[in-house]
Amino acid sequence: MQNVFSIAIDGPSGAGKSSVARAVAEKLGAMYLDTGAMYRAVGLYMLKNGVPLNDASAIAANCPGVDVRVGYGKDGQQCVYLGEEDVSKAIRAAEVSLAASSVSTVPAVRERMVALQRGIAQGHSVVMDGRDIGTKVLPDATLKVFLTASAEVRARRRYDELSCKGMHEPYEKVLEELIRRDEVDTHREASPLRKAEDAVEVDCSQMTLEEVVETVVSLARQAVEGKA
């Protein structure tokens, strides 16, 4: 594909957005940006600095001190830094997931992240995944995908993923936390998770990762050719 294009992949937690977006970016030779990792880094910063996560004004007041940077390792994997510190692993802890969900409700945090994300994407073909990519970050994206799956399927996948990493959380707890995050993400005032009007909804409950990737790649090719 020739011209610069952008693909927005939004959807609830655990739908497989990151795996799909990463694979699609690789197939199309585009840059991949996992925007959730950036909110996670902000959440980690607030945890490290003892900022109460139920205090939106304290989070907003501390936001200017957060130095989130995104880099890419030799293997092309996205790394996230807080200042000079690589926090790519630390941001995956369960308490950071909840912290990310809290900080992402604060408008000052969102404004900062959206500006950073647009800056990173500028001039590149990009595949971005998040919650507000099609509605806010890239409103003119070449293709917008809203990736969904039932809460039970998403919780089962997350549970399997955690088990593979030796983290044995009960399935019920994983499901409960996922439903709680869905609730926060869809009901917050600032850029709630919702399908953009011009997004294509892909329900991947019954699909393999490869099938979803093929579906999105084919939609992307059609969209890029349609706009050429």
131 binds ligand DC (CB under 6 A): yes
**Rounded Cα–Cα distance for residues 174 and 157 (Å):** 10
35 binds ligand DC (CB under 6 A): yes
Residue 158 near ligand DC by CB under 6 A: no
Q: Toward ligand DC, which CB reaches closer, 5 or 134?
A: 134
User: Pick from 181, 196, 199, 219: which binds ligand DC (CB under 6 A)?
Assistant: 181
Per CB under 6 A, the list member of 15, 130, 196, 215 interacting with ligand DC is 130
Nearer to ligand DC, 113 or 223 (CB): 113
Nearest approach, Cβ of residue 40 and ligand DC (Å): 5
Considering only residues 16, 24, 31, 40, which one is a binding residue for ligand DC as defined by CB under 6 A?
Answer: 40
Q: Which range, of 24-32, 35-43, 69-77, 171-179, touches ligand DC by CB under 6 A?
A: 35-43
Among 51, 132, 148, 215, binds ligand DC (CB under 6 A): 132
Report how far residue 82's alpha carbon sits from residue 68's, in angstroms, rounded to the nearest whole number: 5
Q: Which of residues 47-106 bind ligand DC (CB under 6 A)?
A: 100-101, 104
C-beta of 15: minimal distance to ligand DC in Å?
9
Please give, one letter per residue, the 3-state secondary structure of 8-38. EEECCCCCCHHHHHHHHHHHHCCEEEEHHHH
Strand partners, 201: 146
User: What would the two tokens of residue 139 be?
Assistant: 């409103």
Task: Tell the smallest beta-carbon distance from residue 203 to ligand DC (Å).
Answer: 18
Q: Stretches 31-39, 139-147, 165-173, 209-217: which one binds ligand DC (CB under 6 A)?
A: 31-39
Q: Does 157 bind ligand DC (CB under 6 A)?
A: no
Residues that bind ligand DC (CB under 6 A): 13, 35-36, 39-40, 100-101, 104, 130-133, 181, 185
